[in-house]
């Protein structure tokens, strides 16, 4: 069973989780499957920002009563009236969570799924990126300048993890993007249809020109830094169908 929560709201160890629904309705909302969780998230939590996660709970470790009941007030679109939802009638010890799953979302906020972080993403505290992979912004220039797209910071940098066997969505960034290799494996970049290998045996850095179509893949989990100038802004990202 799964409980949806903003990561910043997860209580510290030893503190029980008491979401507003516990006082308002007497129970904590949960779902019985990831598929239903995605439907609930899209129906009621599209406005959440930041890192949204799901606690995968072990029913055997939950002390308060758990009752499987009809949706309150109604099931989300795509979920039948016969669906039953696990409701926890009391505060929750988050130590009962087996693992934390991170929401994968589109640029418009649509939830696509929930995933466990790879080891390198866990080590470096990376979040899902809409184009695929995992990232964390590490630096933004404090200086701003005008561009044809409006005010932008001069540059920004992220750590970006390309998981093994994964290919990111083809996309276009409206700024130059310099890729710097950290490893351990090689990263394959497709830029306007041409292949480029990011690795010390080939090139440890590759420039993707502004406006170029790009996607990337790796045969093993591989970490890079991406420096974007002018700074990355989601308004300047277009993910291609």
* pLDDT of 109: 95
* CATH code assigned to 2-115: 3.20.170.20
Domain boundaries, the chain: 2-115, 119-239
> Rounded to whole angstroms, how far apart are CA atoms 184 and 163?
11
Per-residue pLDDT of the chain (241 residues; tens, 9 = 90+): 999 999 999 998 889 999 999 999 999 999 999 999 999 999 999 999 999 999 999 999 999 999 999 997 789 999 999 999 999 999 999 988 999 999 999 999 999 999 999 999 999 999 999 999 999 999 999 999 999 999 999 999 999 999 999 999 999 999 999 999 999 999 999 999 999 999 999 999 999 999 999 999 999 999 999 999 999 999 999 999 7
> Rounded to whole angstroms, how far apart are CA atoms 153 and 208?
19
| Residue showing tokens 């795509």 | 78
Tallying the residues shown for the chain, one arrives at: 241
* pLDDT of 38: 98
Cβ proximity of 31 and 2 under 8 Å: yes
* pLDDT of 58: 93
> Rounded to whole angstroms, how far apart are CA atoms 118 and 218?
14
* pLDDT of 13: 82
Distances in whole angstroms, Cα of residue 66 to Cα of each of 93, 96, 114, 205: 13, 13, 23, 53
Cβ proximity of 96 and 62 under 8 Å: yes
Which is the CATH superfamily of the domain at 119-239?
Answer: Jelly Rolls (2.60.120.10)
Backbone angles phi, psi at 24, to 5 degrees: -75, -40
> Rounded to whole angstroms, how far apart are CA atoms 199 and 223?
11
């Amino acid at each position: 069973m799964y409980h949806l929560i903003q990561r910043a709201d997860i209580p510290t160890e030893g503190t029980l989780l008491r979401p507003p629904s516990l006082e308002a309705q007497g129970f904590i909302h949960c779902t019985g499957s990831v598929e239903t969780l995605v439907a609930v998230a899209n129906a009621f939590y599209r406005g959440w920002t930041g890192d949204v996660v799901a606690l995968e709970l072990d029913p055997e470790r939950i002390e308060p009563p758990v009752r499987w009941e009809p949706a309150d007030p109604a099931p989300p679109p795509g979920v039948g009236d016969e669906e039953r939802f696990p409701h926890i009638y009391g505060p929750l010890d988050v130590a009962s969570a087996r693992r934390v799953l991170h929401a994968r979302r589109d640029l418009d906020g649509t939830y696509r799924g929930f995933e466990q972080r790879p080891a390198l993403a866990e080590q470096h505290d990376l979040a899902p990126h809409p184009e695929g992979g995992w990232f964390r912004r590490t630096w933004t220039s404090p200086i701003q300048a005008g561009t044809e797209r409006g005010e932008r910071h001069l540059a920004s940098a992220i750590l970006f993890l390309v998981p093994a066997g994964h290919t990111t969505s083809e996309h276009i960034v409206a700024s130059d993007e310099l890729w710097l290799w950290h490893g351990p494996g090689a990263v394959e970049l497709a830029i306007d249809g041409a292949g480029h290998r990011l690795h010390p045996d080939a090139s440890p850095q590759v420039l993707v020109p502004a406006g170029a179509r790009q996607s990337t893949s790796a045969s093993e989990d591989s970490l890079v830094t991406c420096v974007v100038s002018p700074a990355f802004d989601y308004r300047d990202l277009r993910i291609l169908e």
